[in-house]
């Protein structure tokens, strides 16, 4: 009988306002509703007229207008009533509460459900097992989602469950592959209504390292003990001993001619092209000096690449590094790798850098500093760095700044964080001071190009692209041939000795260097009468061809394609004959996707399109 009464009164609650006035009850009804986000408890109370012993029906609908709760009780003294229950399947938003019954008016109110306030998360690692625990509010039955990302920012574990007694939850996961670095654990409630994160660290040769940041922390974690120095291919190894001068913090190691000659001989006998020179960590050292022979920089004697490893930084150099400097009378060359005193920097620069390292690179010949600056070669620099949890959410915004002697800064386009090695790497063809920075740039007018927003922000932060002002990017504007060449050479870190340029490019043009590099490297052939036509808008197909040529010229890929790779595009016949193979190769490699089944090869490329394509090759190659 009670079941039918509840159904009938629920019907009246839904449709009572449609009944004739003469049928409506006259006794007043009051209702109040409260919700505790931490416990999930709902309290509904009020008065049902003033008479005890009356049947009171409660109906609650969630923000999706679905029935959430249907209950019935008996009014007490003075018609008072009360309902208590725990909200299940919580949805954020406004809940509608109706109370009614025989002999009283229907009363309505609402309550709001918002994010859970008491969300905690802890993560520990024992061997290969990750244990994640905490509280999702203080109530049983709250939805709990968990996600774990490795140091490569890849999702390696996801799960979903419900909180237990007092809101407690627990998950366990066994790592299938261990990467050195910071792992991010994110926990959130229903539909992301509450989010918290923590981290744990796996050090090299340390399988039981607990989280170095507290529950929910996004602070800096300790750096790995031994980040992996990147070495290209197998190598012959030399380990040197360094002596520390406590008064200066400089540790000095010496590689004499005999040691170097022996290492070269071993490498050549084994068919190797690399020699790795390691200077072990010296406690208290802020700078490492490697004193060596000029033979070290003689491309004719070995043609072997060299990697110098210290705990401050690693340098991968080519033997032609100093081939634009006369070393005929030199007796000793010293490479200096040290940490710069940030107190010498302008306050604004120092504030932006924070506690991140600033590397100082110097080279001396017979004790005299020389300005290494060689556009025909580059030095790959790697600096040990452990990002914060916040930085690992957007690791592409970990960038490198070049700082000149006056404290002026300039982003180094090749600077990026390598999660696999625990290093920030960049390439340079001149020595100076270099800082690691977390820089997030954006523009007010890129929300309309969601598909390009991330690419624009990342490439702007790396100093590869810039806005038309500090706040505007103008993403839909067409890009010129000259401006695109600037972006392309920056994205791939291209440089070359100055040579003959095009007839319509003068030395004073802002794009002269980039266009000159493109000509020297054979990327741009120009048009009739040695014309580059720098201010003309570049077509999509020409943009793609230039990217393809640059990748091939620099040895970054050898991909090829045919017209068959363009079969799915309905406008493939519009692709120029000279562009077919390059565009096909880029399509096959997944760099060019088109828009639906269209390539639009003859259309003008926009600034947003250029940013997206260059961002793809920047990450991929």
| Residue 90 and residue 104 share a domain | yes
Q: Please tell me which residue, 218 or 14, carries the higher pLDDT value.
A: 14
The answer to whether residue 211 sits within a structural domain is no
| Residue 99 and residue 123 share a domain | no
| Residue 153 and residue 108 share a domain | no
The average pLDDT across 482-497 equals: 90
Q: How many domains is the chain built from? A: 4
| Residue 155 and residue 266 share a domain | no
| Residue 134 and residue 91 share a domain | no
| Residue 605 and residue 479 share a domain | yes
Range of the domain at 475: 450-620
Domain boundary among 81, 113, 145: 113
The answer to whether residue 501 sits within a structural domain is yes
The average pLDDT across 131-150 equals: 85
Residues of the chain with pLDDT > 70: what percent?
A: 86
Domain boundary among 380, 408, 438: 438
Helix (H, G, I), strand (E, B) or coil at 174: strand
The first and second tokens of residue 363, run together, are 């080279």
DSSP-assigned letter for residue 578: G
Residue 236: strand pairing partners? 275
Task: Give the count of beta carbons closer than 10 Å to the beta carbon of residue 68.
Answer: 21
| Residue 278 and residue 196 share a domain | no
For the question of whether the overall pTM of this predicted structure is more than 0.85, the answer is: no
Helix (H, G, I), strand (E, B) or coil at 131: strand
The answer to whether residue 45 sits within a structural domain is yes
Lowest mean pLDDT among 58-72, 109-123, 316-330, 507-521: 109-123
| Residue 412 and residue 282 share a domain | yes
Label residue 512 by pLDDT band (50, 70, 90): very high
| Residue 123 and residue 37 share a domain | no
pLDDT in tens, 269-314: 888 788 899 999 898 999 999 999 888 887 555 578 889 999 999 9
**Tokens 């306050």 belong to residue:** 347
The average pLDDT across 3-15 equals: 46
**Tokens 């997944």 belong to residue:** 590
pLDDT in tens, 325-351: 888 889 999 999 999 999 889 999 999
| Residue 28 and residue 170 share a domain | no
Closest CA to 552 of 515, 516, 513, 591: 591
The answer to whether residue 39 sits within a structural domain is yes
Closest CA to 84 of 60, 53, 50, 48: 60
In CATH, what number is assigned to the domain containing residue 290?
Answer: 2.60.220
In CATH, what number is assigned to the domain containing residue 173?
Answer: 2.60.40.1930
Lowest mean pLDDT among 157-166, 173-182, 435-444: 173-182
Give me the helices (H) in 528-606, please.
540-553, 580-588
User: What pLDDT score was predicted for residue 412?
Assistant: 96
Highest mean pLDDT among 197-211, 428-442, 581-595: 428-442
The answer to whether residue 24 sits within a structural domain is yes
pLDDT in tens, 556-607: 877 788 888 898 899 999 999 999 999 999 888 888 887 778 899 999 999 9
The average pLDDT across 39-61 equals: 86
The answer to whether residue 221 sits within a structural domain is no
DSSP-assigned letter for residue 263: H
The answer to whether residue 224 sits within a structural domain is no
Lowest mean pLDDT among 20-24, 76-80, 267-271: 20-24
The answer to whether residue 136 sits within a structural domain is yes
Label residue 118 by pLDDT band (50, 70, 90): confident
Decide if 338 contacts 360 (C-beta within 8 A).
yes
Domain boundary among 82, 113, 144: 113
Q: Is the pLDDT of residue 225 over 70?
A: no
| Residue 280 and residue 397 share a domain | yes
Label residue 1 by pLDDT band (50, 70, 90): very low
- Non-local CB neighbours of 167 within 8 Å, separated by 6+ positions: 38, 39, 118, 135, 136, 137, 138, 139, 140, 142
Gyration radius of the chain over CA positions: 33
Strands ordered across the beta sheet of 80-86: 32-35, 41-47, 80-86
User: What pLDDT score was predicted for residue 139?
Assistant: 73
Lowest mean pLDDT among 175-189, 429-443, 518-532: 175-189
Give me the helices (H) in 305-361, please.
347-353
| Residue 404 and residue 508 share a domain | no
């Amino acid at each position: 009988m009670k079941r039918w009464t509840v159904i009938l009164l629920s019907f009246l609650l839904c449709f009572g306002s449609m009944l004739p006035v003469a049928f409506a009850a006259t006794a007043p009804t009051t209702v109040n509703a409260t919700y505790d986000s931490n416990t999930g408890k709902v309290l509904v109370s009020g008065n049902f007229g003033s008479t005890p012993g009356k049947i009171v029906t409660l109906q609650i609908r969630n923000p999706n207008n679905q029935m959430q709760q249907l209950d019935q009780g008996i009014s007490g003294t003075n018609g008072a009533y009360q309902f208590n229950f725990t909200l299940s399947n919580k949805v954020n938003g406004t809940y509608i509460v109706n109370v009614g019954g025989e002999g009283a008016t229907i009363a309505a109110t609402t309550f709001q459900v918002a994010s859970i306030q008491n969300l905690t998360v802890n993560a520990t690692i024992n061997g290969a097992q990750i244990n994640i625990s905490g509280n999702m509010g203080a109530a049983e039955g709250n939805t709990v989602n968990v996600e774990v990302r490795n140091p490569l920012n890849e999702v390696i574990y996801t799960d979903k469950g419900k909180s237990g007694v007092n809101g407690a939850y627990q998950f366990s996961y066994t790592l299938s592959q261990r990467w050195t670095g910071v792992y991010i654990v994110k926990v959130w409630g229903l539909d992301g209504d509450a989010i918290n994160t923590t981290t744990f660290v796996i050090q090299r040769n340390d399988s039981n390292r607990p989280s170095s940041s507290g529950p929910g922390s996004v602070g800096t974690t300790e750096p790995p003990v031994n980040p992996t120095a990147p070495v290209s291919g197998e190598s012959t190894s030399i380990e040197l001993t360094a002596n520390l001068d406590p008064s200066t913090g400089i540790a000095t190691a010496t590689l004499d001619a005999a040691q170097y000659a022996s290492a070269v001989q071993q490498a050549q006998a084994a068919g190797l092209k690399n020699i790795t020179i390691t200077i072990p960590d010296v406690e208290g050292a802020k700078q490492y000096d490697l004193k060596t022979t000029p033979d070290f920089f003689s491309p004719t004697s070995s043609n072997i690449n060299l990697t110098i490893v210290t705990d401050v930084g690693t340098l991968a150099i080519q033997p032609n590094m100093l081939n634009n400097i006369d070393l005929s009378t030199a007796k000793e060359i010293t490479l200096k790798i040290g940490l710069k005193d940030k107190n010498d920097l302008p306050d604004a620069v120092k504030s932006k850098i924070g506690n991140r390292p600033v590397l100082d690179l110097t080279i001396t010949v017979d004790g005299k500093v020389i300005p290494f600056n060689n556009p025909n070669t580059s030095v790959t620099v790697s600096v040990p760095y452990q990002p914060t949890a916040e930085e690992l959410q957007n690791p592409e915004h970990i960038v490198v700044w070049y700082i000149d002697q006056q404290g002026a800064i300039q982003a180094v386009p090749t600077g990026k964080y390598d999660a696999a090695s625990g290093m920030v790497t960049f390439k340079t063809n001149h020595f100076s001071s270099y800082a690691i920075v977390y820089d997030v740039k954006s523009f007010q007018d890129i929300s309309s190009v969601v598909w390009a927003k991330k690419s624009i922000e990342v490439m702007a932060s790396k100093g590869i692209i810039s806005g038309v002002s500090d706040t505007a990017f103008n993403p839909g504007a067409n890009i010129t041939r000259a401006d695109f060449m600037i972006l392309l050479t920056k994205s791939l870190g291209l440089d070359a000795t100055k040579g003959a340029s095009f007839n319509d490019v003068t030395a004073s043009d802002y794009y002269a260097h980039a266009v000159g590099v493109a000509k020297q490297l054979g990327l741009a052939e120009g048009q009739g009468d040695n014309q580059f036509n720098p201010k003309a808008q570049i077509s999509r197909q020409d943009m793609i061809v230039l990217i393809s040529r640059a990748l091939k010229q620099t040895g970054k890929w050898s991909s090829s394609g045919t017209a068959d790779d363009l079969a799915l595009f309905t406008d493939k016949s519009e692709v120029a004959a000279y562009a077919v193979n390059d565009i096909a190769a880029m399509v096959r490699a997944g760099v060019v996707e088109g828009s639906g089944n269209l390539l639009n090869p003859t259309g003008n490329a926009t600034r947003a399109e250029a940013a997206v394509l260059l961002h793809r090759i920047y990450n991929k190659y």
